[in-house]
Structure 1
Amino acid sequence: MGRHSATCVAAQQRASRHGSQASIGRVGLLAVTLGVGAAVAGGTAVAHADDSVGNDRGTAATRSVASTTSATAVDAGPSVRAFRRTGKASVDTAVADTSVADGPTSRPRSVRKNARPVLALLEVVRQEFETAADRRAERAAATTDVEPVTPAPTDQVSTQYGSIGKWMVEPSGQISDYGGQREDGKSLLEPVNIVIVDTKSTNAFQARLRLNRAMRASGFPPQPIHTGGFRGIINGKAYRQQPSGLLQGYSDNVFFETNNHGRIFGPAPVATPGGYVWSGTFSEEEWGTYQGRPAHLYVSSNVARDALAAKMVASGRATCAGQIALDNAYNTDTVTTGDHDGHAAVLILT
């Protein structure tokens, strides 16, 4: 979310400026390196020329500079003659000419030896420029990566009925994960997918009575052998589940057969006086084994949600007000909400 928000746009502009500055810095580095390389090459050649004259002539070197220079010019070959005609000579020509040795005390071998580090340095700079574009592309891709959002037990969505919590929460305070069962190797989170609105009750006790009567009349009475103790969050407050009996849940069939079951949380006061709102988590399950033990296995969230809505409307105990988006459908590398589509059915008690 928010890929095209102002913050992201600013981040992209900063990345673009950084990339431009990095390119300018590399160009400057190349220029400096080339200058240093030329200076080193030139300085080395002069130093060896001076040292050679001193070694060959001793203290008389200063008196024979003219004759030595003349002799060197004559013996230097095409490179020097070309320099006299054009005022310049290529590096390749100079290196090729200095490869001719006059004898054991000749100096071209020293010149070649000191040219190698400079050429190696220039090769490193060339390779740096060849890979600079790839590195800039990698950095740009890294800055656009978006970390997956991690759901939190306290996540809520603002709706016309209040801030509805996204999840059924365990007694430990964590998002309920179907007793630790895995779905395709992922944690199976249990989302809220039902919202029930009571516009007629004047207190919480009356709201609980009306809810339980409506559930029984719709074919979803409290049934045994379902885990309990869960909570749901509405307007920032955690509410205990209904039904409140030990190991009970609302279900349309016995526990050892495929059934649609769930828990409902509340009642929380709505914005208008004299009304309450509930949230609920329902899923279809079947009896089976998990890791060698008897267990209820997850089948579907959407099937159970739609079954409850249809039966409550058919019973005359509620009308359907459509669906609201709770943005609580997940399917990442580590977590899933099964077939849940991120919406809750809204039922208005009659």
Structure 2
Amino acid sequence: MGRHSATCVAAQQRASRHGSQASIGRVGLLAVTLGVGAAVAGGTAVAHADDSVGNDRGTAATRSVASTTSATAVDAGPSVRAFRRTGKKASVDTAVADTSVADGPTSRPRSVRKNARPVLALLKVVRQEFETAADRRAERAAATTDVEPVTPAPTDQVSTQYGSIGKWMVEPSGQISDYGGQREDGKSLLEPVNIVIVDTKSTNAFQARLRLNRAMRASGFPPQPIHTGGFRGIINGKAYRQQPSGLLQGYSDNVFFETNNHGRIFGPAPVATPGGYVWSGTFSEEEWGTYQGRPAHLYVSSNVARDALAAKMVASGRATCAGQIALDNAYTTDTVTTGDHDGHAAVLILT
């Protein structure tokens, strides 16, 4: 009894994206620092700070700023062009003096106030880049946070139209059945309920057991030997013994030494509406093999066995299918797994 479980994790590109955003933020901040410093020193020098910006995401904004300030530098006269060729500070002072008109004794040159506007625009763009990058990092962190499911308990139940159905097959010890202690990738293999059978015609528990066993035999799932027993299932808060009740028996569609779909059914419990009974069951496909050097039934699939039982009962005319109900009992964590079980139970109505 071993289990097949396959999980793939692909999350290798987040680091590169985060790194590129961080680089953009650093270059943008450098652009702001150089631009503001140049604006304080002299108006036309801002054009050189803008030209040095390497932020691809802010290209449109920085080009606009650069073109505006470059135009001002051309109008300033040959001294600015000389500054660009020689880098002499005297050229900058001359350019500012030639192009400035004072508004009063304490006013800054008009060219300085004009060239400060592109710097403020650039500052706004870079600040928005920082805020956008931070928002995206927060969204990714929220989307990729793994929330560990609550640890399952043997008494877990789900309220349905047929009553409160227990999620698990329970061992005689009271713990969730774990396939005889077998492990897959170091994880415990839990055995979930994946079948619900409703009998609307039986008037007592004895008749309900008789009708169930007849339906199972007619569907090709008679009691078969060499299957562990003594399990229980919970319905409406009460633990019910398994059917079949024979020693080391389980319902199965093949002999124990070949691949077979097998399981146990628990009940009968009175249904929520007057008259009739409800059963729950745990079925899985298994194959004969060895585990830790000993002969054992190895887990193959939960969904295959569930669907096989439903199909054969409907084909036999002993039941109709009422779809599936969600039991929320599929787990794959660092410590436990339910194999390929999808968290749903097939509902069969006995005819």
Please state which band the TM-score falls in when normalised by the shorter chain: 0.5 to 0.7
Using the TM superposition, give the Cα deviation of residue 5 of structure 1 relative to its aligned residue in structure 2, in angstroms: 32
Using the TM superposition, give the Cα deviation of residue 28 of structure 1 relative to its aligned residue in structure 2, in angstroms: 29
Q: Flag the 1:245–1:37 CA change in 2: closer, same or farther, 3 A.
A: farther
Instruction: Determine the C-alpha separation between the residues in 1 that align with 2:218 and 2:56.
Output: 118
Using the TM superposition, give the Cα deviation of residue 274 of structure 1 relative to its aligned residue in structure 2, in angstroms: 1.7
Asked if the contact 2:283–2:306 (Cα under 8 Å) also holds between the matched residues in 1, the reply is yes
Bigger RCO of structures 1 and 2 (CA < 8 A, at least 6 apart) = 2
2:210 is aligned to: 209
Using the TM superposition, give the Cα deviation of residue 253 of structure 1 relative to its aligned residue in structure 2, in angstroms: 0.5
Instruction: Determine the C-alpha separation between the residues in 1 that align with 2:244 and 2:62.
Output: 111
Asked if the contact 2:32–2:123 (Cα under 8 Å) also holds between the matched residues in 1, the reply is no
Asked if the contact 1:194–1:346 (Cα under 8 Å) also holds between the matched residues in 2, the reply is yes
Q: Flag the 1:143–1:20 CA change in 2: closer, same or farther, 3 A.
A: farther
Instruction: Determine the C-alpha separation between the residues in 1 that align with 2:146 and 2:155.
Output: 26
Instruction: Determine the C-alpha separation between the residues in 2 that align with 1:160 and 1:291.
Output: 43
Asked if the contact 1:190–1:337 (Cα under 8 Å) also holds between the matched residues in 2, the reply is yes
Structure 2, unaligned runs of 5 or more: none
User: 171-180 vs 125-134, which deviates more?
Assistant: 125-134
Instruction: Determine the C-alpha separation between the residues in 2 that align with 1:192 and 1:299.
Output: 16
Using the TM superposition, give the Cα deviation of residue 48 of structure 1 relative to its aligned residue in structure 2, in angstroms: 50
User: 115-124 vs 61-70, which deviates more?
Assistant: 61-70
Instruction: Determine the C-alpha separation between the residues in 2 that align with 1:153 and 1:195.
Output: 18
Q: Per-residue displacement from partner, 1:297-337 (whole Å, max 9, x unpaired)?
A: 00000000000000000000000000001010111111110
Using the TM superposition, give the Cα deviation of residue 185 of structure 1 relative to its aligned residue in structure 2, in angstroms: 2.2
User: 75-84 vs 273-282, which deviates more?
Assistant: 75-84
RMSD of the TM alignment (CA)? 14.2
Normalised by the size of structure 1, how large is the TM-score? 0.60
User: 197-206 vs 11-20, which deviates more?
Assistant: 11-20
Instruction: Determine the C-alpha separation between the residues in 1 that align with 2:322 and 2:57.
Output: 109
Q: Flag the 1:91–1:152 CA change in 2: closer, same or farther, 3 A.
A: farther
Instruction: Determine the C-alpha separation between the residues in 1 that align with 2:65 and 2:315.
Output: 117
Normalised by the size of structure 2, how large is the TM-score? 0.60
User: Tell me, what secondary structure is at the counterpart of 2:7?
Assistant: helix
Q: Flag the 1:132–1:98 CA change in 2: closer, same or farther, 3 A.
A: farther
User: 298-307 vs 95-104, which deviates more?
Assistant: 95-104
User: Tell me, what secondary structure is at the counterpart of 1:244?
Assistant: coil
Q: Flag the 1:76–1:61 CA change in 2: closer, same or farther, 3 A.
A: farther
Asked if the contact 1:324–1:346 (Cα under 8 Å) also holds between the matched residues in 2, the reply is yes
Instruction: Determine the C-alpha separation between the residues in 2 that align with 1:197 and 1:126.
Output: 64
Using the TM superposition, give the Cα deviation of residue 207 of structure 1 relative to its aligned residue in structure 2, in angstroms: 0.2
Asked if the contact 2:265–2:281 (Cα under 8 Å) also holds between the matched residues in 1, the reply is yes
Asked if the contact 1:41–1:114 (Cα under 8 Å) also holds between the matched residues in 2, the reply is no
Which one has the largest radius of gyration? 1
Using the TM superposition, give the Cα deviation of residue 243 of structure 1 relative to its aligned residue in structure 2, in angstroms: 0.2
Q: Flag the 1:208–1:93 CA change in 2: closer, same or farther, 3 A.
A: farther
User: Tell me, what secondary structure is at the counterpart of 2:298?
Assistant: strand
Query: What does residue range 273-292 of structure 1 map to in structure 2 within 5 Å?
Result: 273-292=274-293
Q: Flag the 1:55–1:43 CA change in 2: closer, same or farther, 3 A.
A: farther
User: 306-315 vs 55-64, which deviates more?
Assistant: 55-64
Using the TM superposition, give the Cα deviation of residue 148 of structure 1 relative to its aligned residue in structure 2, in angstroms: 3.1
Query: What does residue range 67-146 of structure 1 map to in structure 2 within 5 Å?
Result: 146=147
Q: How many residues align?
A: 350
User: Tell me, what secondary structure is at the counterpart of 2:347?
Assistant: strand
Instruction: Determine the C-alpha separation between the residues in 2 that align with 1:61 and 1:277.
Output: 70
User: 46-55 vs 167-176, which deviates more?
Assistant: 46-55
Asked if the contact 2:193–2:283 (Cα under 8 Å) also holds between the matched residues in 1, the reply is yes
User: 249-258 vs 178-187, which deviates more?
Assistant: 178-187
Using the TM superposition, give the Cα deviation of residue 184 of structure 1 relative to its aligned residue in structure 2, in angstroms: 2.5
Asked if the contact 2:193–2:282 (Cα under 8 Å) also holds between the matched residues in 1, the reply is yes
Instruction: Determine the C-alpha separation between the residues in 1 that align with 2:62 and 2:4.
Output: 75
Using the TM superposition, give the Cα deviation of residue 273 of structure 1 relative to its aligned residue in structure 2, in angstroms: 1.9
Q: Flag the 1:291–1:117 CA change in 2: closer, same or farther, 3 A.
A: farther
Using the TM superposition, give the Cα deviation of residue 78 of structure 1 relative to its aligned residue in structure 2, in angstroms: 40
Asked if the contact 1:261–1:284 (Cα under 8 Å) also holds between the matched residues in 2, the reply is yes
Q: Flag the 1:275–1:45 CA change in 2: closer, same or farther, 3 A.
A: closer
The list of structure 1 runs, each at least 4 consecutive aligned residues, that deviate by more than 2 angstroms after superposition, is 1-148
Asked if the contact 1:41–1:118 (Cα under 8 Å) also holds between the matched residues in 2, the reply is no
Instruction: Determine the C-alpha separation between the residues in 1 that align with 2:262 and 2:60.
Output: 110
Instruction: Determine the C-alpha separation between the residues in 1 that align with 2:203 and 2:59.
Output: 118
Asked if the contact 2:58–2:125 (Cα under 8 Å) also holds between the matched residues in 1, the reply is no
Q: Flag the 1:24–1:154 CA change in 2: closer, same or farther, 3 A.
A: farther
Q: Per-residue displacement from partner, 1:128-173 (whole Å, max 9, x unpaired)?
A: 9999999999999899874431111111110000000000000011
Q: Flag the 1:31–1:152 CA change in 2: closer, same or farther, 3 A.
A: farther
Instruction: Determine the C-alpha separation between the residues in 1 that align with 2:56 and 2:329.
Output: 89
Q: Per-residue displacement from partner, 1:232-260 (whole Å, max 9, x unpaired)?
A: 00001000000000000000000000000
2:188 is aligned to: 187
Q: Flag the 1:90–1:25 CA change in 2: closer, same or farther, 3 A.
A: farther
Q: How high is the sequence identity, in percent, across the aligned residues? A: 99
Using the TM superposition, give the Cα deviation of residue 127 of structure 1 relative to its aligned residue in structure 2, in angstroms: 25
User: Tell me, what secondary structure is at the counterpart of 1:10?
Assistant: coil
Asked if the contact 1:45–1:111 (Cα under 8 Å) also holds between the matched residues in 2, the reply is no
Q: Flag the 1:310–1:145 CA change in 2: closer, same or farther, 3 A.
A: closer
